[in-house]
Structure 1
Amino acid sequence: MLSLALLTLKARKGGFTGTFVALLLGAAVLSACGMLLESGIRAGSSPERYAAADAVVAGRQEVELTLKDLDGSTLKEAQPLPERVPLAASVADRIAGVDGVRSVIADIGASVRLVTGDGQPVAGRHGSAPEAHNWSGLPLGDFRLTAGHAPRTAGEIALDTEIAGRAGIRPGDEVRLMTTSVPRTFEVAGLVTLKDGRAPRRSVAFMSEPALRQLAPAPSVYAFGVLAAPGTSPERLADGIKAALDDDTLAVHTGEGRGRVEFLDITVSGSNLVVLAAAVGGNVMLIAVFVLFATTSLSIRHRRREIALLRAIGTTPGQIRRMVAAEAAVTGLVAGALGCPVGLALVYWLRDRFAGHGIVPPDFGLAISPLPFLAAVLVTVLTALVAVLSASGRATRIRPTEALGEAALEAPGLGRGRKVAGGVLLVLAAGIFAAGLAQNADFFTLVGLANSLVLLLVIAVAVLGPLVSRAAVRLLGPLANRTGVTGFLAAANTQANAGRLAGAITPLVLAVAFASTVVFTQTTGLRESADQLRSGLVADHVLTAPSGVSPELADKVRAMKQVRSATGIVKSKVVAVGRLLGAEASVSLSAQGVDPRALGTALDLRSRAGDLTTLSDTSVAISTTTASWLGLGVGDTARLYLGDGTPFRGQVVAVYERGFGFADVTLEHDLLLAHTTRKVDASVLVRSDPKASVIPEVLSDVAADYPGTVLRDGLAVDDQLTEQQANAWVNYLVVGLIIAYTAITVVNTLAMSTGARRREFALLRLSGTARRQVVGMMRRETVIVIVAGVGIGTLLSAFPLILVSLALSDSPWPAVSGLGCLAIAGATAVLAAAGMMVPTRVLLRIRPVEAIGGQE
């Protein structure tokens, strides 16, 4: 069978082109997603400050939750933590008693902002904030002193040569550093660099521990570096420390794991990348199944005469299935092997785009191994096999005596199985839509229902394709008939070949439905967030800084006579357990910390229940979406994990409506601030006294003490939507990949369908039909396909978008832009026209007498 399959592939190269291209592109995207997934799991960077440590003990940067499934069984799930988990100083004593430990050195650190003598802020490498660390921790790392001397007093520091060079600083110069207070002046005692001369990945300053505690009143113990006694291996040392600590909240790292402890931004972005890669890969895999089923179905349909002849001369169904399976396996194997190099180029392009939108650091390294390539090839081959065996079922089941007759004409209707399956899918879709409308479901449930709904509707259209295409022809055929002979031919052709028309319409429906649903879900979310921000921000002025605002600035502003109220806004995330469709699920929620006295005056979250002004360090306020998701109301106890993993139990004192614009959870300012890594505010909101004058000038004078802080009249909405816009961009990327993949396969599918009509075109021309009439017929058929595909796809997207809009705004009207609709419809129309008209013109160049006798 393999030799016969190879001969068939050689003889029918054109017929297999569409399937081959679809498989190649699928393998490229899947291998790229596999590399992103592996990179996220293995995310890390070579250690620098911990390079000399044999083992590093740090807080476990994830919280493990026990969840209940629908059947009552329990499972454990880990959620990554965005803030660095602090360590207690007493941990060092427990480590020191472990056999094989030579010494334990604490790494104490704090995020700082560096200011030159002339008041200019200096950003750290890669735009991140520099870090200050204790000089006593230098032996843990790979740094060496290159100029000057070590810091000897509380007024001296050592800088790395890279940031010192950018700031134009030399030993003996003065610099200012600030964390949570006004800048303090230090003398640069010396310069340090990595031993191999490289610039450190993150800009760093070293100082004595007393100086560090003066600069940052509550510096964190980032980790404990452990140096092993002679003859003790790092692995043995790590095992001994784990056994001695016996604490699930602590983790012991060796080797490359030390880099993951040192560079938290890579660890957090790696966790995000895992989720992102899985989502993109899952969507592409889903699309690939649809597309490949469509292309292989067309390929099998175009080979009906060949298969019928084989059946007529005694070939068994099993032999035909083995033949087409061998063809699919060879095609999938070759396409997968050629698609992997394309995926390698794609993954680097994606990494650069992610870095540009802040999803991963600019220097995020990719982990490249053979595993994603092997997995992509395997999935490609299996997908091709499943698609071709499913599509060839009917062709291999017909009896030999009926084979040639079955091949001559298209089957008049759908099989009973497809009708039943399509009906069940439509009933399920209707039930999901009705449930979404009838239930007071939370945001996550409604979005989940919307995603399931669009999927069910697209599958239903694919299963009931011929019926859908006939319905489209009944509506559009009379209009085509009015355009003359060519219109009559187009209507007759589409009506007689409903299966072929369905194969052309289904990919268009798929592209339009998915693209419209994802794009307009994002526009609806951004509209609601922007509206809530504009309505909820009642402050007159906003103080911001690129690297954050010192929290004491809000206290100074609040004490001014011209100010009615002021609050710093600190941003973080919390982890909670909610319910999704009856089962428990973990979720990461956005959190903000505010001064309760400013709620209602500088910030209006629109309370639906309870009293926001009673917020304290033992209570919490939550958005309506979060309340529904967690099943909580006023008076209930919320069980949360703060960004650094600290458990928090607080009474819900209020439920508010403007969660999409601000945050899912609102906590007391100082409470949340204490559990963040950088311990700075994102901004300060100021509401002036109505009788005050010259308030901007006074605020500017106060802000001048904190270099880099700027005063704005009102909040720039786009600046506050950065995270939402980044999430929207990711979803647009998913849509872009889907559309790009679907676009090429749409052209392939339509080109295959049109290319198989060579004999039909030749017969029309030999019977007296002019070439321009054939072209006119195909133009009208193209219009029918485009109108049907775009119309049905748009209709299908309306139902999930209604559910999404209800989830976001309690209104059934999503934010659908006319320009967006035109872009989606226009791109689809161009692709469909190219897929049908280009092959038509190519086929019409062949002489009819040659085409009529050519291969099918």
Structure 2
Amino acid sequence: MPGLALLTLRARKGGFAGTFVALLLAAAVLSACGILLESGIRAGSAPERYAAADVVVTGRQEVELTLKDLDGSTVEEARPLTERVPLKASVAGRIALVDGVRTVIVDRGAAVRLATGDGRPVTGRHGAAPEAHTWSGARLGDFRLSAGHAPRTAGELVLDRDTAARSGLRPGDEVLLETASAPRSFELAGLVSPAGGRAPRLPVAFVSDAAMDRLGPVVHAVGVLADPGTPAARAADDIREALDDSTLAVHTGEGRGRAEFLDVTVSGSNLVVLAAAVGGNVLLIAVLVLFGTASLSVRHRRRELALLRAIGTTPGQIRRLVAIEAAVTGLAAGVLGCPLGLLLVHLLRDRFAGHGIVPPDFGLVVGPLPFLGAVLVTVPTALAAVLAASLRVSRIRPTEALGDTAPESRGPGRRRVVTGGVLLVLAAGVFVTGAARDTDFFTLVGLANSLVLLLVIAVAVLGPLVARAAVGLLGPLVGRTGVTGYLAAANTRADALRLAGAIVPLVLAVSFAATVVFAQTTGLRESADQLRSGLVADHVITAPNGVSPELASEVRDLAGVRSATGLVRSQVVGVGTLLGAQEAVSLGAQGVDPRALGEVLDLGTREGDLTALSASTVAVSTTTASWLGLGVGDTARLTLGDGTPFRGRVVAVYERGFGFADVTLDHDLLLAHTTRRADESVLVRSGGPSGGRAGAAVSGLPEALAAVAADHPGAVLRDGLAVDEQLTEQRANAWVNYLVVGLVIAYTGITVVNTLAMGTAARRREFALLRLSGTARRQVAAMMWKESAVVVVAGVGVGTLLSLFPLALVSLAVSGSPWPAVPGLGYLAIAGGTAVLAVAGTMVPTHVLLGIRPVEAIGSKE
């Protein structure tokens, strides 16, 4: 059998081309997702400030939660924290008592914003603001003083050479440094560079210990220099044992880089989720597509396989033959697809960086495991698809094979009908459950995701019945368009299986793409509407790297200002319930001055009183309330971004969570638990507290606000709300889903062309017979155009219909209305793109076949 299988592969290269291309693309995408997944797990960067330390101790950048599963058992889940977890200074004393520890150095730091003496912001290569650290902590890194001198007084600082050069700074120049208070003037005392003179990954400033005391520092890490001869790994084990604290993390080697660069660690966690989602979706689509492609390939060989049965080949031998062919095809496609995956992953990384999902210099980890995994997935998938498709053919009786071959089934078997019926019943149950008004947001979204999968799989199983229904509706219309229309209608009626093989990939592409894309447009529409309705401030002051919390206080003191608040954003972690099982979820959080609620922000209170917000209370959106099972008066149990547990009474539930945040906390409370200790913006409402109408224009106020903003480096004044800027993060998240759609459409699109081209190429004898009986070439082409029209209308129509049900659930979850936001151009792009691919897959091989002389084509082999 192996020899026969290899001979068949060599003799029928075209017949295996469709399956090979589908497997090649699957291997490329899966290997790319595997690289992203491994890169996310092992995310890191070479240490710089901690390069000289043998061991680095930090707070653990994740929270461990105990959750209840469906069966009542408990599971542990770790959730990443987006803000830096501070250390207690007492940790250093405990570490100093450990044997083998020579020196303990405490690294204190503060997020700062720097500017030149004339107010120009000082940032790094990618616009990042520097962090300030104590000069005594510089011993932990590989920075070397390359110009000037170390900071000796509280008014001096040292900056890395690359950042200084970008801003045109030299030793002796004035530098403005801003944290939570007004900018202070420093003298640039010197410049430092990492060993080797390379540019640091992030900008860094060093100040004296006395200066750091005034900046409100936190302990970022404790660095350890071990005794000579003591291995770093052994010192780390001893320190870990001595501390015996699950909230602390002990790092050596590459782990020191993860401890230093928080953005890489957080991005890595996000990338793991993203890669798993993309890979899972593509794998599901690949399985559905490959089963259809393999089925079509085996059907085209039914005469050959029937002949083998006629000469005594057993069904088991037939299955072994196609299994070997599939294994060889899958192995070759898997091996050749991996280099394509390497190219694809670099393109994806660049796109992710462009949308802020990962840092611009995020490094990829390229190892053998993703490639091995891609091959191990493609080969079994190919085997399963081909074996499932060959079951019926391998059972053909030899007596039937001696005839013109066994008659082909005109529809699905009983098992497929039953399976498809069960799937449709389940889909109907899911939709009815989701349409119930008391279903919470996250359950609705989960049900919508499940619904689209159930419907797509059901259509794939019931493909011939769907094809028959489409022909029943479209056939009479096509049949009235002349002789070529009559032939096209007759062809579509005669072979439901072939037609189903052409329609199902189109249904898959359209339904999946429409569901994902229009779910995002629906969410963005609702967010934009809530932002426009809820933000009633007249002026907004903002800056790329945040503004000082003191700015809001300065603005409140201006004449003509009725209300003002700083707006700080972060994330918190909560525990919700989805379909009976607990799940950890990261929630967007905003901190505002409670006195400004209702004045600059109208969150749309549904119940409770937002003005009761304080340092011990919390307000939540309606979606968060349903997800966490909270109501007014309940106690919310959350974990703040730096790992601090928070227990607060819910004082209000509001409706505009999509436009603003899932959770609203007291401004000062949330600010104290962020890394930057800065406001994202300051929201201002004009109109005097007495006598003036709120929101009324006040003469001279814009000029006064602009003057205050000018005293804070990088701060700018805007009138009203820039909705596009507020939706930047949501648009980035939407782009990720568009990426998934793009990969799926690209994959299914090529497969659509593949499938239709294979089906058309198998009809060369039919075309030749038509030509020999007097049919003109243009008539054959016209017939195929009309067949393509049936396929396109059926595929796009059924795909659109399937997407309406999950989109209705998504819209109910987001806005309470069953009508999703479907931009006309977006729908035309999806429908038109799949239509063009379908027509190309049919007409290109048709014109190629029509170029062959009929006499030669009629005598060709299958």
1:574–1:588: 8 Å Cα contact kept in structure 2? yes
Is the 8 Å Cα contact of residues 478 and 489 (structure 2) preserved in structure 1? yes
Q: 1:777 maps to which residue?
A: 783
**Counterparts in 2 of 1:174 and 1:210: CA distance versus 1, 3 Å:** same
Match of 2:613 among 612, 615, 636: 615
Partner Cα separation in structure 2 for residue 695 and residue 291 of structure 1 = 63
Distance 2:685 2:796 in 1: 50
Of 741, 750, 753, which residue of structure 2 is paired with 1:735?
741
Aligned to 1:49: 49
The answer for the alignment partner of 2:455 in structure 1 is 457
Partner of 2:425: 427
Match of 1:191 in 2: 191
Deviations 1:9-37 (A, max 9, x none): 11111111111111101100100000000
Who is 1:91 aligned against? 91
What is the alpha-carbon distance in structure 2 between the residues aligned to residue 495 and residue 171 of structure 1? Answer: 84
For residues 62 and 855 of structure 1, the distance between their equivalents in structure 2, rounded to whole angstroms, comes to 64
Question: Does residue 819 in structure 1 map to residue 822 in structure 2?
Answer: no
How many Å separate the matches in 2 of 1:841 and 1:48? 63
How far apart, in 2, do the equivalents of 1:255 and 1:55 lie?
8
Distance 2:807 2:682 in 1: 36
Partner residue in 2 for 1:36: 36
Alignment match of 1:767 (pick from 770, 773, 777): 773
Residue equivalent to 1:314:
312
| 2:802 aligned with 1:796 | yes
How much does 1:848 deviate?
Answer: 1.7
Partner residue in 2 for 1:254: 252
| Comparing 226-235 and 766-775, the one that deviates more | 766-775
Partner of 1:373: 371
Q: Please tell me the root mean square deviation across aligned C-alpha atoms, in Å.
A: 1.0
- Looking at structure 2, the residues matched to 532 and 407 of structure 1 have their Cα atoms a distance apart, in angstroms, of 65
Give the Cα separation in 2 of the matches to 1:589 and 1:280. Answer: 22
| SS of residue paired to 1:835 | helix
Secondary structure at the residue paired with 1:812?
coil
- Aligned residue for 2:51, secondary structure, equals coil
Q: Secondary structure at the match of 1:192?
A: strand
**Superposed counterparts of 1:255-294, under 5 Å:** 255-294=253-292
Alpha-carbon separation, structure 2, partners of 1:111 and 1:5: 66
Equivalent-residue separation in structure 2 for 1:802 and 1:448 (angstroms): 13
Name the residue aligned to 2:535: 537
Give the SS at the match of 1:127.
Answer: coil
Unaligned regions of 5+ residues in structure 1, if any? none
Return the letter of the residue paired with 1:817: P
Deviation at 1:649, TM superposition (A): 0.5
Structure 1 residue 414: deviation in Å?
1.8
Q: Following TM superposition, by how much is the alpha carbon of 1:570 offset from its aligned partner in structure 2, in angstroms?
A: 0.3
Deviating more after overlay: 497-506 vs 202-211: 202-211
Tell me the distance in 1 between the aligned counterparts of 2:372 and 2:260.
32
Aligned partner of residue 773 in structure 1, secondary structure: helix
Question: Which residue of the partner structure matches residue 688 of structure 1?
Answer: 686
Secondary structure, in 3 states, of the residue corresponding to 1:77? strand
What does residue 58 of structure 1 align with? 58
| Secondary structure of the structure 2 residue equivalent to 1:627 | helix
Alignment of 1:71-86 (within 5 A): 71-86=71-86
In structure 2, the residue matched to 1:572 is 570
Conserved in 2, the CA contact under 8 Å of 1:570 and 1:680?
yes
* CA displacement 1:780-821 (0-9 Å, x = unmatched): 100000000000000000000000000000000000011111
2:176 is matched with 176
Q: 2: CA distance between counterparts of 1:404 and 1:136? A: 91
Displacement of 1:404 in angstroms is 5.1
Distance 1:151 1:286 in 2: 59
Report how far residue 408 of structure 1 moved.
5.3
Structure 1 residue 647: deviation in Å?
Answer: 0.5
Q: How does 1:351-750 map to 2 (within 5 A)?
A: 351-403=349-401, 407=405, 409-689=407-687, 691=692, 692-750=698-756
Q: Report the AA paired with residue 669 of structure 1.
A: H
CA distance, structure 2, for counterparts of residue 233 and residue 411 of structure 1: 72
In the alignment, the residues of structure 2 paired with residue 477 and residue 171 of structure 1 have an alpha-carbon distance, to the nearest angstrom, of 82
For residues 679-714 of structure 1, the C-alpha deviation after alignment (integer angstroms, 9 at most, x for no partner) is 100001001116332211111121121121111110
Correspondence 1:119 to 2:125: no
Q: Tell me which moved more, 553-562 or 241-250.
A: 553-562
Q: Offset at 1:189?
A: 1.4
Aligned counterpart, 1:130:
130
**Offset of residue 400 of structure 1:** 2.0
Q: 1:413 to 1:189 in 2, by over 3 A?
A: closer
In the alignment, residue 845 of structure 1 is paired with which amino acid?
Answer: G
Runs of 4+ residues deviating >6 angstroms: none
Percent of aligned pairs with the same amino acid: 77
Tell me how far apart the structure 1 counterparts of residues 525 and 202 of structure 2 sit (CA, whole Å): 37
Give 1:513 shift.
0.3
Structure 2 regions of 5+ residues with no counterpart? 693-697
2:758 to 735, 740, 752: 752
Alignment correspondent of 1:148? 148
SS at match of 1:126: coil
- Contact between 1:81 and 1:643, CA under 8 Å: does it hold in 2? yes
| TM-fit CA distance, 1:439 | 4.6
Q: Distance in 2 between matches of 1:404 and 1:349?
A: 54
Correspondence for 2:221: 223
1:101 Cα deviation from its structure 2 partner: 0.8
Equivalent position amino acid for 2:196 in 1? D
Using the TM superposition, give the Cα deviation of residue 406 of structure 1 relative to its aligned residue in structure 2, in angstroms: 7.9
Separation (CA, whole Å) in 2 of partners of 1:141 and 1:299: 62
SS in 1 for 2:532: helix
Cα deviation per residue 1:745-778 (whole Å; 9 max; x = unaligned)? 1100000011111111112222222222211111
Amino acid at match of 1:445: T
CA displacement at 1:213 relative to structure 2 = 2.0
Distance 2:431 2:405 in 1: 40
Report the Cα offset of residue 166 of structure 1: 1.5
Give the distance between the partners of 1:159 and 1:589, measured in 2 at CA. Answer: 36
Question: For 1:292-337, what per-residue CA distance to the aligned partner results, in whole angstroms no more than 9, with x for missing partners?
Answer: 1111000011011111111111111110100000000000111111
Instruction: Report the Cα offset of residue 124 of structure 1.
Output: 2.1
Quote the residue 2:26 is aligned against.
26
1:268-300 CA deviation, whole Å, 9 max, x = no partner? 001100000000000110110011111100001
Counterpart Cα distance in 1 of 2:200 and 2:404: 72
Partner Cα separation in structure 2 for residue 212 and residue 416 of structure 1: 77
Indicate the SS of the match to 2:558.
coil
Aligned residue in 1 for 2:695? none
Secondary structure (helix, strand or coil) at the match of 1:392 reads: helix
Alignment length (residue pairs) = 854
Quote how far apart the aligned CAs of 1:407 are.
3.5
Does the aligned pair in 2 maintain the 1:305–1:404 contact within 8 Å?
A: no
Deviation per residue, 1:90-110 (Å, 9 max, x gap): 111111111111111011111
Match of 2:856 in 1: 850
**TM-score, normalising length from structure 2?**
0.98
Residue in structure 1 matched with residue 327 of structure 2 by the alignment: 329
Q: Deviations over 1:407-463 (max 9, x none)?
A: 454213321100100000000000000000125222211111111111111111110
Distance 1:354 1:619 in 2: 37
Counterpart amino acid of residue 486 in structure 2: F
Q: State the distance in 2 between where 1:443 and 1:383 align.
A: 35
- Confirm or deny: 8 A CA contact 1:410 1:499 kept in the other structure: no
Distance in 2 separating the partners of 1:752 and 1:108: 66
Helix, strand or coil at the partner of 1:726: helix
The alignment's TM-score, normalised by the length of structure 1, stands at: 0.99
Query: Within 2, Cα distance between the matches of 1:533 and 1:405?
Result: 72
Shift of 1:125: 2.9
CA contact (8 A) 2:410 2:497 kept: no
